[in-house]
Structure 1
Amino acid sequence: MTEQAMTHNTLSANLADWTIQLIRAEGLGRGDALPTARDLAQRFGVSTPTMREALRSLQATEIVEIKHGSGIYVGPNIGRTVLPNRNAGVLSPERFDELLEARLLVEPRLAELAAGNRTREQVDRLRECLERAAGQLGDDAALHTENMDFHRLIAETAGNSVLAEVVDSLLSVHGPEQRQILRIYNDRERDHAEHLDILAAIEAGKPVVARRLITKHLEVVREIVAANLSEES
């Protein structure tokens, strides 16, 4: 089908798909260089501006990275099954509870799996993350980053890459809401102590305890946030 015969949206979607197929066919990975937009346009039989538009759509989901003056490269999300929606917008107060409920449905199972699957290296990474967090209890922005990384590392340790991507997407897209949850919860020391207990259960290989601890941790956060938002309303 020629460029003229396709609708604009269909053509852009097809070009994005063809670019992904090219990346996979060539065995390219994150950071590998792609042909120029002009070369890709010639390869697919379209105009260069049309090709650039398709590449920008791939850049929005970090499938590719466009570095001006350098080139086009394979992005970090090329191998992902679940992609975060960067345009999700700000959650309404009512959806805070839904966000925490979603985490409650997923993260306890991941903590359980992590306790059964953990390696020494993974435990060390979890501990290092909490050690960094311990030094940031007075800096909410830095503490938030370490806390979210701790939850991501648990998901990675569990060994289910799709569920790990689900957790990462929830934490990445709703970063501002997660930071607000930290502010509302307003007990950094308790939060950190509970994280240490979860780590201890994972390190000791106690799946049931790890699941129970992270469930209680998220349930308490959910209760405090719900009560606070109700008072503010």
Structure 2
Amino acid sequence: MSQDVSRPSLSDALTERLLDLIRSGGLRPGDRLPSARELSQRFAVTTPTLREALRRLEATGAVRMRHGSGIYVGSDLERVVIPNPNVGRLKGDQLRQLLDARMLIEPPLAALAARRADPVDLARLRAVLEAAGTYLDGRDAELHEANMAFHRAAARAAGNAVLDEVVDSLLSVHSSEQREILRIFDDRVRDYDEHQAILGAIEKGDEAAAEEMMRTHLADVKCVVEERLG
């Protein structure tokens, strides 16, 4: 039996119906949804109206539409903090503020990681740093990705999903700025050694040391960036 969706706010109502279909059906990221034709019949709407709602959900990562394949549940379905992909490049003071934001968030998360990290978290952190160690010969793109993966893994190990998403959003949306910070900082070995020290404190369960080392690490980066930017 079709479910009629009426105005006002047809797109909003249809979006909620689609989300309810996913959740009530127990669908998980990667699971396939019915075709656009089947969904439009189910909700008694035209295919263009349905596709508008699907595009809204795709913009937040709740669904993924693959041409010639179908509609799938997205990996960001339950995400609380959604990055804004439309923000332009950060300049000057904004770049400093990005580092200030990270300095407020990441050191306490490192302390929580030292308290809460399980063997899976620690293995992930070690694997990321092992990979980073192989990129110290000058492979900027790979080293950047490994460095950002370390910060993401440390935030994840803290066990606070919302703050994990905040860190991920800062690093994802402003990846070009993060690469620029790496270029300006330009001390691969020092950066790597500081990451190793942070991991060592987390592995030992030393909350105070993990927090202080993460704060010092980010402060060092900010100091160099400020000197270079003038």
TM-score bracket for this pair, using the shorter chain length: over 0.9
Q: Distance in 1 between matches of 2:61 and 2:216?
A: 35
Indicate the residue corresponding to 1:91 in structure 2: 90
Indicate the residue corresponding to 2:127 in structure 1: 128
Pairing of 1:149-228 with structure 2 (within 5 A): 149-228=149-228
Q: Distance in 2 between matches of 1:90 and 1:17?
A: 33
Q: Distance in 2 between matches of 1:23 and 1:2?
A: 17
User: What is the deviation of 1:17?
Assistant: 2.3
Q: 2:5–2:43: 8 Å Cα contact kept in structure 1?
A: no
Indicate the residue corresponding to 1:145 in structure 2: 145
User: What is the deviation of 1:92?
Assistant: 2.3
Any idea what SS the aligned residue of 1:90 has? coil
Indicate the residue corresponding to 1:38 in structure 2: 37
Q: Mind listing any 5+ residue stretches in structure 1 that lack a counterpart?
A: none
User: What is the deviation of 1:120?
Assistant: 2.0
Q: Distance in 2 between matches of 1:64 and 1:13?
A: 15
Q: Mind listing any 5+ residue stretches in structure 2 that lack a counterpart?
A: none
Q: Distance in 2 between matches of 1:89 and 1:44?
A: 38
How far does the alpha carbon of each residue in 1:92-118 deviate from its partner, in whole angstroms, 9 at most, with x for none?
Answer: 222001111111111011100000111
Pairing of 1:99-138 with structure 2 (within 5 A): 99-137=98-136, 138=138
Per the normalisation by structure 2, the TM-score is 0.94
User: What is the deviation of 1:2?
Assistant: 6.2
Q: 2:152–2:167: 8 Å Cα contact kept in structure 1?
A: yes
Q: Distance in 2 between matches of 1:48 and 1:150?
A: 43
Q: Distance in 2 between matches of 1:116 and 1:175?
A: 29
Q: Distance in 1 between matches of 2:175 and 2:57?
A: 22
How far does the alpha carbon of each residue in 1:144-177 deviate from its partner, in whole angstroms, 9 at most, with x for none?
Answer: 1011010010111101111101100110010001
Q: 2:184–2:225: 8 Å Cα contact kept in structure 1?
A: yes
How far does the alpha carbon of each residue in 1:65-106 deviate from its partner, in whole angstroms, 9 at most, with x for none?
Answer: 111111100011012111111112211222001111111111
Q: Distance in 2 between matches of 1:14 and 1:101?
A: 39
Any idea what SS the aligned residue of 2:29 has? coil
Q: 2:5–2:14: 8 Å Cα contact kept in structure 1?
A: no
Q: Distance in 1 between matches of 2:57 and 2:179?
A: 28
Any idea what SS the aligned residue of 1:81 has? coil
Any idea what SS the aligned residue of 1:87 has? coil
* 2:39 is the alignment partner of 1:69: no
Any idea what SS the aligned residue of 1:34 has? coil
- Count matched residues: 226
State the superposition RMSD in angstroms: 1.4
Any idea what SS the aligned residue of 2:135 has? coil
Q: Distance in 1 between matches of 2:89 and 2:144?
A: 18
Structure 2 CA distance for partners of 1:43 and 1:107, relative to 1, 3 Å: same
Identity %: 51
Any idea what SS the aligned residue of 1:159 has? coil
User: What is the deviation of 1:43?
Assistant: 2.1
- Residue 187 of structure 1 aligns with an amino acid whose one-letter code is D
Structure 2 CA distance for partners of 1:13 and 1:2, relative to 1, 3 Å: closer
Per the normalisation by structure 1, the TM-score is 0.93
User: What is the deviation of 1:193?
Assistant: 0.4
